[in-house]
Amino acid sequence: MSKNMKKHKILELLKRTDKWYLGGGNRLLWAPEFPLFLDYPGFWDNAMYYNFPFQPLFTWTILSDSGEEIKLKFIRRIWTPAEIVQEYKCSINNINMRVYERKSLLPVDAATSSISI
């Protein structure tokens, strides 16, 4: 069994739905004490860099052809120590879609989101 397979199984065992904090093992930490925007895309709530708070890190949205925001409805969150995956649903032109955001903090103090529609 390879190292990657072992790591993957450990993270599967650690999955939770009641946690939301992330750290990359360096100076950047995203662990808002009283989060207000957990169910929204991106990192709205405060982060800490060298113990100095700042917010937001970044956010994103989906726009229609006419430039209007397409509202995302939060479905669920799955946390592991490595990442948070949030699931949303939305409707575009009467087509129901699922949107998945995979959030993580890298060891080089970079916050990332990858989005799948």
54-94 pLDDT, tens digit per residue, is 999 999 999 988 999 999 999 999 999 999 999 999 998 88
Q: Does residue 8 lie within any of the structural domains?
A: no
The tokens of 81 are what?
Answer: 């120590």
User: What's the N-to-C CA distance of the chain in angstroms?
Assistant: 32
Give domain status of residue 6, yes or no: no
Residue 26 clears pLDDT 60, i.e. is over it: yes
Question: Please, what's the b/e burial string for 83-100 (b: 16 or more CB within 10 A of its CB; e: otherwise)?
Answer: bbbbbbeeeeeeeeeebe
φ and ψ of 87, to 5 deg? -110, 135
Cβ pair 74, 90 in contact under 8 A: no
**Region of 116 on the Ramachandran plot (φ > 0 left; ψ -120 to 50 alpha; else beta):** beta
- Asked if pLDDT for residue 8 goes beyond 80, the answer is no
| pTM of the full structure | 0.87
In a domain, 39, yes or no: yes
Per the structure, the count of domains in the chain is 1
Which single residue is written with the structure tokens 């490595």?
A: 82
Nearest to 32 by CA among 101, 90, 111: 111
Of residues 9 and 60, more confidence is placed in: 60
pLDDT exceeds 60 at position 1:
no
| Residue 35, Cβ density class (10 Å: 0-12 exposed, 13-18 middle, ≥19 buried) | middle
Q: Is residue 60 part of a domain?
A: yes
Task: Let me know if residue 95 belongs to a domain.
Answer: yes
Q: Looking at the domain assignment, is residue 43 inside a domain?
A: yes
